[in-house]
Chains A and B, each alone.
Chain A
């Protein structure tokens, strides 16, 4: 049973570019959340998707957007990249009705130069 898978594992982009990160949730999970973890910091909540809709959002600008597909997989898009967007981006999945059981992927390391 595959857990949460994220791609790519590493990515290098230039300031001003756009990036798309992908996440496949654990089998049976229907809810996907995204977190940003800057170096030496704890993860910060970006947003959560359920039933293909963004239903909760953290304190992140509109440059951060996402999507959830009918198969529950998800994408995180970041436009107009800034140096400060360099971080580990974590995807977490869960099953609605069992919010205690959150499973994290290994993350995508984004470096903006």
Chain B
């Protein structure tokens, strides 16, 4: 079945540092890929998405590129802020599948803490 693997956390960075959170996936079809963010006490929010190979999703300075050859969707940001502290989840969904109906398969999440 489908699965998503994220890098082990937590990740602790100083403000303005470069961020990479690795994500690899296994899927039988042609999934769409997502990054969700969860701030303390809140639900999940969609951060960015990519629907086909070589697509780059971007939002709020974060970006990730859909790499079919390496089955990866790594999240990057050039300069993190304290307000980026949150839990980040990589996810996939076979949205084009006839019986998927948009079910999301999530990775285990990566806790990011950014210090001033």
Residues of A within 8 A of B (CB): 4, 31, 33, 35, 40-45, 48, 50, 55-56, 58, 90, 92, 94, 99-102, 104-107
Q: Does B93 contact A (CB under 8 A)?
A: yes
Closest to A101 in B: B46
Question: Number of A-B pairs whose CB atoms are under 8 Å?
Answer: 59
Interchain CA distance A106-B42 in the complex, whole Å: 5
Residue of B nearest to A107 (CB): B43
B89 at interface, CB cutoff 8 A: yes
- B108 and A94: CB pair below 8 A? no
A interface SS class: strand
Is the pair B95, A90 in contact by a Cβ cutoff of 8 Å? no
How many residues belonging to B are interface residues under a CB distance threshold of 8 Å? 25
CB-CB < 8 A to B104: which residues of A? Answer: 35, 43, 45, 102
Residue among B42, B46, B101 making CB contact with A99, cutoff 8 Å: B101
CB distance from B9 to the nearest CB of A (A): 10
Tell me the complex Cα distance, A41–B4, Å.
12
Determine the chain B residues whose CB is within 8 A of the CB of A107 once the complex forms. Answer: 43
CB-defined contacts of A43 to chain B, threshold 8 Å: 44, 89, 104, 106
Q: A4-B43, A100-B49, A100-B95 are in contact. Are A42 and B108 (CB under 8 A)?
A: yes
Residues of B within 8 Å of A94, CB to CB, are 102
A25 to chain B minimum Cβ distance, whole angstroms, is 13
